[in-house]
Structure 1
Amino acid sequence: MSRSRQLFQLSPVVVLFTCLLLALPLAAQDSADPGFQKWIEDFRKTAIKNGISGEVYDRAFKGITSPDQWVLDKASYQPEFKAPVWQYFDNRVQKRAIERGKKKKQKLQSWLDKIEQRFGVNPNILLAIWSIESSYGAILDNDKVMRNVIRSLATLAYADPQRKKFGRQQLLAALKILQSGDIDESHLTGSWAGAMGHTQFIPTSYQAYAVDIDGDGKRDIWNSVPDALATAASLLSSNGWRQGETWGYEVTIPERKLPAGKLTIGEWEKLGVKRANGEPFPRKNDKAELKLPDGRDGPAFLMLKNFFVIKRYNNSDRYATAVGLLADQIGGAPGLVKDWNRPFTPLDSTQVEELQKLLQEKGFYKGEIDGKAGSGTRKAIRAFEKSAGVEVQGYPSKEVLQLLKSQ
């Protein structure tokens, strides 16, 4: 039945209301926020003072009438606990990420060679960053995660007291990206905090490092994987990446107390520090710092200059270590000699997927089947363990998988 015939069968009042509703722009049907609309109007003057044209500004904010509550929820979210070391690395340096990285490397070899020739950055490092930042671009198709960058940053600038300055600064940079023509409004998407594209650059970092390596006239980190990887390489190169050198070494350490700070590799050797795989260190004069991410009983590392360069991408020891370990294994190196401290027998990512599917079938899990044992998976495991009458631990272990299969 056509819409017009349906309307004529309704009461006159309903018909009038329906017609008025259909005539409204889609965005106007949301709960408009007058305070936010006033803020947008006022910020227009700031944008123009910073070189943004009124036309670009108005086009960017067309249809935006209220803050994004999802962004505010993400901004205020405080995790109940810091992920254990084993969980952080298991979710990033895992079988699927390594296999996909190797396939991407084969497919993009000519571009990776070109990027390495220009910036001197190891392609495996770029692939590892791509994996950790966006799961090789998979999150870009997730509408629940990727939002309108203009609305997200305006939301932070307007309604988040802790991030107002960040929101304003990044919003101005995002508007300049639109004005440059590198991307249009409909494709300017990013995380709740405005991290954009395959390699998740915030707008100011994009402005500083973005590269058009595919030669189409646009620095497009959303749709061009070569541009995105070259942009990551540009950031690392600009911050002192040392070509041909690694990021760090897994080592064994003596029982005695070792000094903090940086020493040469030769000096560390005299203190009893050796490579875990038994091979010699290639350069004895390199400065390195000892890191123990999981305490003295876990893997130990001597971190070199490139480790600290990776931290310019994300200022986290765990992040930089994960990038390095994943990059090495994409390049064909074996895994760690000494495993992380864990009170259970671990699963690989394929087995975690199987565990998630079984938990879902039994009604304990509602999240994504992604092979990553995050807080949602561990919560589901605890619920299952409680129902099964066993000790509640929440570990993604082979023991739990076997118990699920047996029931």
Structure 2
Amino acid sequence: MVSTLLALALLAPSQTPAMPDYDVPAFNRCLDRLGRQASGEGVNSALFDLHVRTVTPDTSVLRLLDAQPEFKTPIWDYLAGLVDDERVADGQAMLQRHVATLARVQAEYGVDPATVVAVWGVESDFGRVSGSRPLLQSLTTLSCMGRRQDFFRGELIATLQIIQAGHVAADKLVGSWAGAFGQTQFMPSTFQRIAVDFDGDGRRDLVDSVADALASTANYLDRAGWRSGEPWGIEVRLPPDFDLAVSGRTERRPLSYWVERGVAHADGRAIDPASKPSALLLPAGRNGPAFLVFKNFDAIYAYNAAESYALAIAHLSDRLRGQGGLVQAWPTDDPGLSRRQRRELQTLLLQRGHDIGEVDGIIGSNSRAAIRLEQQRLGLVENGRASQGLLRALRSPTTATAEEPAAR
């Protein structure tokens, strides 16, 4: 007897299967080449067939690979979302919860707990948000399509080696579209070089082992040149006539050079004119906060080659040590929204009928499109920026909804 569900399916009009949005023969030829390359690097053919030959390409990653940023985040917005009171409180709780592990990590690698926990917080919100794309699908797609195929083939083979060695199960390997995974977001090839088994279970597991993730991060920073006991840098004050041409992370000079030119601590205290190499960082130009950065800043920068990222880690680590915020204000009358405020903004956008997806505090393309519509209705500059001014306007009960345009 045919089941009711199946009977209904048999009676329904036949549908033509959707055509794949990629060249199937070319993709299969690529898989053949990948199989030979993986075998040559010690990957079992049965494991390759199970995890790669069964993959259906995810061509959406190609758009991410080629995407040009549509919105450049101001440094004060970037830091407001990454270093807020919520993350500082969570980070201080993590320092207490993992105090014994972090002490062992510091003894082994020389990196202080606050810096390690700051990386953990920025990379995955302490393990809460580490990406959702299956690495095998993303990396197989990128190994056969788009730019930089050689690079992604290496990452795919490293992923297979991780599975084969039993470190992380295939179904646990989810992360960013480009292949970073785990609580502190390592690329697979970086995992192969840097990850450590710190909990002693015989596996290097950055997904489910906090100890392995924290120690692996410290090992990375140590290998990048971390100097134990030294600061990452200091906030400074520049004299009015200071020559900005000497600024830049790679323009290293002894501290005495800056002292001779009138540079002081941000609170006005004199800087000890030591010979320590340092560079002047001006992330928002002359009118914003200024920093003299040392070797440890470069080690953080190596983790993710962006000065704004390194500054976020450095600033969060200072906050976790109990220090206050920056002395010099950013050159803006709207210094950005915390994650709590961003979630509130997204909730208000949803209430006004905008389809932005989940309320997660992450201002992505859908949220920015909704913001532009609200800015247009309110007669504001249409830049897609999640601002304090927009949040205040949307909190007002008289603000127009998406169905009722505001008068201009």
TM-score in same-fold range (> 0.5): yes
SS of 1:200's equivalent in the other structure is coil
The Cα of 1:304 is off from its aligned counterpart by: 0.2
Cα distance change on mapping 1:196 and 1:402 into 2, 3 Å: closer
Tell me whether 1:385 sits opposite 2:375 in the alignment: yes
The Cα of 1:197 is off from its aligned counterpart by: 0.5
2:144 paired residue number: 158
1:33 paired residue among 24, 34, 57: 24
1:167 paired residue number: 152
Counterparts of 2:175 and 2:388, CA distance in 1: 36
The Cα of 1:346 is off from its aligned counterpart by: 4.3
Cα distance change on mapping 1:381 and 1:121 into 2, 3 Å: same
| 1:70-89 matches, cutoff 5 A | 70-89=60-79
The Cα of 1:248 is off from its aligned counterpart by: 0.9
2:58 paired residue number: 68
Counterpart residue type for residue 172 of structure 2? H
1:6 paired residue number: 4
Counterpart residue type for residue 54 of structure 2? G
Counterparts of 2:79 and 2:237, CA distance in 1: 19
The Cα of 1:207 is off from its aligned counterpart by: 0.6
Counterparts of 2:6 and 2:66, CA distance in 1: 48
1:210 paired residue number: 195
The Cα of 1:276 is off from its aligned counterpart by: 0.6
Counterparts of 2:100 and 2:153, CA distance in 1: 39
1:291 paired residue among 281, 294, 297: 281
Counterpart residue type for residue 45 of structure 2? G
Deviation readout 1:240-297 (Å, 9 max, x if unpaired): 1000111111100112315352121122111111111344546722110001110011
**Aligned partners of 2:234 and 2:293 also within 8 Å:** yes
Counterparts of 2:348 and 2:283, CA distance in 1: 32
**Aligned partners of 1:356 and 1:365 also within 8 Å:** no
The Cα of 1:333 is off from its aligned counterpart by: 0.8
1:113 paired residue among 93, 103, 106: 103
1:183 paired residue number: 168
1:335 paired residue number: 325
Residue-pair matches, total: 388
Q: Could you say what the CA RMSD is over the residues aligned between the two structures, in angstroms?
A: 2.7
Tell me whether 1:149 sits opposite 2:139 in the alignment: no
1:231 paired residue number: 216
Cα distance change on mapping 1:365 and 1:30 into 2, 3 Å: closer
SS of 2:356's equivalent in the other structure is coil
2:48 paired residue number: 57
Tell me whether 1:91 sits opposite 2:78 in the alignment: no
Q: What 5-or-longer segments of structure 1 have no aligned partner?
A: 22-28
The Cα of 1:348 is off from its aligned counterpart by: 3.5
2:390 paired residue among 400, 404, 407: 400
SS of 1:157's equivalent in the other structure is helix
Percent of aligned positions that are identical: 37
**After alignment, is 296-305 or 75-84 more displaced?**
75-84
The Cα of 1:374 is off from its aligned counterpart by: 5.1
The Cα of 1:394 is off from its aligned counterpart by: 4.5
Cα distance change on mapping 1:89 and 1:365 into 2, 3 Å: farther
Counterpart residue type for residue 214 of structure 1? D
Tell me whether 1:266 sits opposite 2:256 in the alignment: yes
The Cα of 1:359 is off from its aligned counterpart by: 1.9
**Aligned partners of 1:364 and 1:383 also within 8 Å:** no
Counterparts of 1:218 and 1:206, CA distance in 2: 12
Counterpart residue type for residue 272 of structure 1? G
SS of 1:298's equivalent in the other structure is coil
The Cα of 1:300 is off from its aligned counterpart by: 0.5
Cα distance change on mapping 1:81 and 1:393 into 2, 3 Å: closer
2:180 paired residue number: 195
**Aligned partners of 2:234 and 2:265 also within 8 Å:** yes
The Cα of 1:155 is off from its aligned counterpart by: 0.8
Counterparts of 1:344 and 1:382, CA distance in 2: 17
Cα distance change on mapping 1:387 and 1:150 into 2, 3 Å: same
Counterparts of 1:197 and 1:68, CA distance in 2: 21
2:404 paired residue number: none
Counterparts of 2:62 and 2:83, CA distance in 1: 30
**Aligned partners of 1:345 and 1:399 also within 8 Å:** no
Cα distance change on mapping 1:32 and 1:188 into 2, 3 Å: farther
**Aligned partners of 1:87 and 1:374 also within 8 Å:** no
Q: What 5-or-longer segments of structure 2 have no aligned partner?
A: 399-408
Counterpart residue type for residue 55 of structure 1? A
SS of 2:278's equivalent in the other structure is strand
Counterparts of 2:200 and 2:2, CA distance in 1: 50
The Cα of 1:403 is off from its aligned counterpart by: 2.1
The Cα of 1:10 is off from its aligned counterpart by: 4.6
Counterpart residue type for residue 256 of structure 1? F
1:304 paired residue number: 294
Counterparts of 2:387 and 2:322, CA distance in 1: 26
**After alignment, is 240-249 or 166-175 more displaced?**
166-175
SS of 2:302's equivalent in the other structure is coil
1:101 paired residue number: 91
**Aligned partners of 2:279 and 2:292 also within 8 Å:** yes
The Cα of 1:127 is off from its aligned counterpart by: 1.4
SS of 2:311's equivalent in the other structure is helix
The Cα of 1:316 is off from its aligned counterpart by: 1.2
Return the TM-score normalized by structure 1.
0.87
SS of 1:312's equivalent in the other structure is helix
